[in-house]
Chain A
Amino acid sequence: MMVRFKNTMLKLALAGLIGAALVGCGASSQGSANAEVPASAEQVARGRYLARAGDCAACHTAKDGAPFAGGYPLHTPFGTIHGTNITPDKEHGIGGWSSDDFYLAMTDGVTPDHRLYPAMPYTSYRAMKREDSDAIYAYLMAQKPVAQPNLENGLSFPFNIRAGLWFWQALFVEDKQPDVSAGSSASWQRGRYVSNVLGHCAECHTPRKFSGQMDFSRQLQGNTLDRIGAPDITPEGLAARGWTLKDLNAFFATGLAPQGSAYGEMYPVVHLSTQHLSKSDLSAMSTYLLGDKPPAPQPVRPVAADAAELQAGRQVCTAVCAGCHGGQGEGKPHVAVAMKGNSTVRLKDARNLIVATLDGIEE
């Protein structure tokens, strides 16, 4: 399977090369270095907010590293890709870029030097407003330049040939992601932008097809990531696990809700991004995810399972879970989340529950 897959990718890469030669790099922006208008303090502040909404730091700041200096490893099925230096350093960062260059990188995945791997979510940022891109650019350019070289990516052949990205981008970069909920309110409209574009929720929560492109026919229906998967966050998927507008808002603002806490890959999302967003933007995200008319949250139903198995499970649970999660799974405030009604426990796929039990959760 893997061999066939790689062969297919090789052909895609070759086709990309030929295609690039024929079309002649239509999306190039080199030579457009305008005299930039100096950024106002207001624009920088807005850029700071938007950079948080876009969660740039999650991938562009390494653990204990300088802010936005890159080095964070992102593990993909194609190999490891490192977040790059996006400080205004002229040599290693983006100090030589114009705001036009930045906008093109954000929305087309094309930088003055090369094409970007779609680990950079330009597939989501594609619909970013020019003024928002400019504000993020202004904010980044106001940061301290860090002369930190970018790390080599650990991608295997043929994925290490960037030319193949032309073909990938031509095929899979679409202008608009499908909506999973129905709505028309101003909050829903804003939520669409905050979720689909800035927050790039789909990058993790939408399953991917074999060339790594998002499968928009299954938008936000959940995806297996590294060990822990990103759950289904369609209105139906959320309601099936008891989520409401109010609880989603609490989750985004604090990482905690009656349905459980943010863990795994979602922890940095709350920590670096959503907790800093305005109440109205969080509410907009929740409204967009659930729709203007949210489906009714489903009550917990008893599971059909073998009685002896249930009894054995109950004994283990009482011995090793109840100490923190409570005798009836009600949880302990400030200690451990409730297991009763817990979103992870209610997932159809037990993977996340099992992985959290085996690995524990990073504190």
Chain B
Amino acid sequence: MMIDFLHEYLNLTGSRLGCGQGVCHACVLIHDREDGTSEEIRTCITGAHFFGGKTIRTVEGLARRNDKGEVVELSAVQQAFLTHYSFQCGYCTPGFVNAATVLVEKLKREPVEKDKVEETITEALNEHICRCTGYVRYFEAVKDVVLSTPGLVKGGK
């Protein structure tokens, strides 16, 4: 499976193996489609060969890095998760970061009405499971990013 390839061959251990059967979504990476849209794909149930020729991002690839490969700036989603302290054990966090990133990218293309923000976030994160039940802080952090990033919400700031 792709997660084994990421862990064992690329030493990219940020994607987490949770349930191993496609339910918890801790293992998702981001697939950048050719048309400029992005989607989550579960790496615990998808073979590595499926990604041949495709452009992907794992959680390690979201922050801005310098020439030496050092992280110099977190992505807006990552920073918001830190600000809101949106994790307890942190195991499911990479999956939530990727889900929120895909959501923000989607809202850049298709902004939503302000009164639809909450249900849009719920729908986008709904498949992700957090066994510490830290959903509220994840939710608040993502809502913060969505409301404070220009262009994601129609009729709001």
Write the residues of chain A forming the contact surface with B, with a CB cutoff of 8 angstroms.
315, 318-320, 322-324, 332, 335-336
Contact = CB atoms under 8 A, between A and B. Distances in A.
- The list of the 4 closest CB pairs from A to B, nearest first, reads A323-B45, A319-B50, A319-B47, A335-B21
Contacts of B68: none
A322 B21 contact: no
A336 B44 CA distance: 14
Nearest to B51: A319
A324 B50 CA distance: 15
9 contacts: A318-B49, A319-B47, A319-B49, A319-B50, A320-B45, A320-B47, A323-B21, A323-B22, A323-B45
A336 B23 CA distance: 12
A349 to B, nearest CB: 27
B50 to A, nearest CB: 4
A318 B45 contact: no
B92 to A, nearest CB: 19
A362 to B, nearest CB: 14
Interface in B27-47: 44-47
Interface of B: 1, 21-22, 44-47, 49-50
A225 to B, nearest CB: 27
Most buried by A among B44, B45, B46, B50: B45
A335 B23 CA distance: 10
Contacts of A318: 47, 49
Contacts of B46: 319-320, 323
Nearest to A324: B45
A318 B50 CA distance: 9
A315 B47 CA distance: 9
B154 to A, nearest CB: 30
Nearest to A317: B47
Contacts of B1: 323
Contacts of A324: 21-22, 45
A322 B50 CA distance: 12
Contacts of A335: 21
A265 to B, nearest CB: 24
Contacts of A336: 21
Nearest to A315: B49
Contacts of B50: 319-320
Given A315-B49, A323-B44, 7 more contacts: A318-B47, A323-B1, A323-B21, A323-B45, A323-B47, A324-B22, A324-B45
Nearest to B3: A323
A95 B154 CA distance: 51
A326 to B, nearest CB: 11
Contacts of A315: 49
